[in-house]
Structure 1
Amino acid sequence: MRHPEYQYLDLLTQVLERGDERVDRTGVGTRSIFGAMIRFDLSGGTVPILTTKRVYWKTAVKEMIWFLTGGTNIQPLLRENVRIWSDWPLASYRRETGDEISQEEFEQRIMDDDTFAAQWGELGPVYGKQWRRWLGNDGREYDQIADLVRMLKETPASRRMIFHAWNVPELGSMALPPCHMIYQYHVTSDGRLNCLMYQRSVDLLLGAPFNYVGAVALQLMLAQQAGLRPGEFVWAGGDVHLYLNHLEQAREQLSREPRALPRMRLTRQAANIDDYRIEDFEVEGYDPHPAIKADVAV
């Protein structure tokens, strides 16, 4: 049986060899293809934490847990040593103040100064806000995650077990419009929970590996809350791209042979979907190739 990680490596190859090259929003430029799908079977306990480079899986899980809090400020992320969202508020701060502060100093001020964090650490109504506090035109806030957990338990045959973050009136207020924007769930007759996640825009080198881990971590949490077993994780990408300053890193990753995928499990039964902590996740058998460094395009 072919190693499942080759699905990702094949995508890298497709983008490198036949991607359409164009200037993008960031000015860096991309090479992209449109429309892709990858499937990972989680039923045996293995998860798609890529092995052809080290993926910092705890960072991805911490980000997902933060989304579930409904948070939109980077202060709690930084206090957990998660720095993947710092670029956007830092760019905004530099642009609006003219202060060429270093990223390290900016992040430290966010962590130490609540007033500074409230003004400059805010990302706008990004993922967590939409997932947990979607504001309806009736003035009510809607908790899509709580509704999903309820449906998984009460109406598992439903075809409406979906949540998303593409809130059109609020897109302009977000630091970055949602990339992994739609999640749909499906429960089989023998009690397996499947997930399909659609990602409209995919930074294939840096973003996709994190997004796989976060989505699967959420799938494990939801399965536990609903008394189900993990089934299949299906990932669908829209604009799947490599930034032009990531091409050599992609070629380096393609030169490596995949190793055995690790296993992820939850170490305790959480009381509810809001009760999970990073300590509840255990990964076994992760032996990746070294990390590959690349710059984030902002």
Structure 2
Amino acid sequence: MCPDGMIPSEAQTRRPCEYPKATKAPARRFTLMMDRVSGIYDFIARAGLLARAIVYGLVSALLIAAAMAPGTHDEGYSPGDTFQRLESEPGGQIVLIMISLGLIQYAIWRAIQCIFDTSDEGSDVSGWMARLGMIMSGMSYLIVGVVAGLVLLGQNTGQGGGTTEEIAQILLDQVFGRFLLFALGAVILGIGAVQTWRGATGHWKDELDCPTDTNWTCHGISVAIAGRGLLIMLVGVFVIAAGIAGRADEARGLASLLGWLRQQPFGLWLYTLSALTIGGYGVYSLFQTVYLKIDFDRDDLPRFAKKVIA
């Protein structure tokens, strides 16, 4: 006799029992659907990371050019400034379209990671902190992608200065505004500290399948990630100072911070090192584009479908 769920073949004595074809069809359809969803997820993630790599590379190139020609743009470059420069170059509008769409896809990927926990971070405190970082990262680059689109449509002059100060002023205008601004600065400071830790410990390598012959490049990326974390921490310090003083003009974004660094003793060296750090982070984004371990597997699809239906 055959086990439950199986049917006897025409010659059971010669051939073993087999499952009916109807039982196999759903499994094949599920496998095909899984492959298709995984492929789309893979494309969204890598396209977004490539767009991020391009943005960091362009900003770094402009900063280095400014360092080599003092007085040309001492206050630093924001992504908006970079997009404005790019838009006027041959083929620049096509690149802007790619950047805008890519960063929007990056935001979608981060949202999927956070909401459906495709990275298996869990639902404990540390897991939710990691997932919160994902959604905040996605939102920040979504804004950059929108800025790229606005520059392309002629609705944005590309002037990035003042954005952090404007946000600081909005918070200060609220009840307990100083506390809100102080809290924002503390969050930024914490994000920077985590990035510095990831770079210093090499923890970032866990999510990549890096070839063994890229060790020297990986060392440089570790320095860049840690250096970018230090820059973010400085931004957090300035935002906290703005909250303590109750003055929005005390807050500084990254572009404004680079301009401030250039005015300090050894400022040109600090400015140049910051530019190289930003470029190194672009290399890290490029490494992610190629070697990232995509974390959407078969166990994620039922969870994904359940949450969408709910």
Alignment TM-score, normalising by the size of structure 1? 0.27
Kindly indicate whether structure 1 or structure 2 has the higher relative contact order, using CA contacts under 8 Å at least 6 residues apart. Answer: 1
Query: Is the radius of gyration larger for structure 1 or structure 2?
Result: 2
Alignment TM-score, normalising by the size of structure 2? 0.27
More helix by share: 2
More strand by share: 1
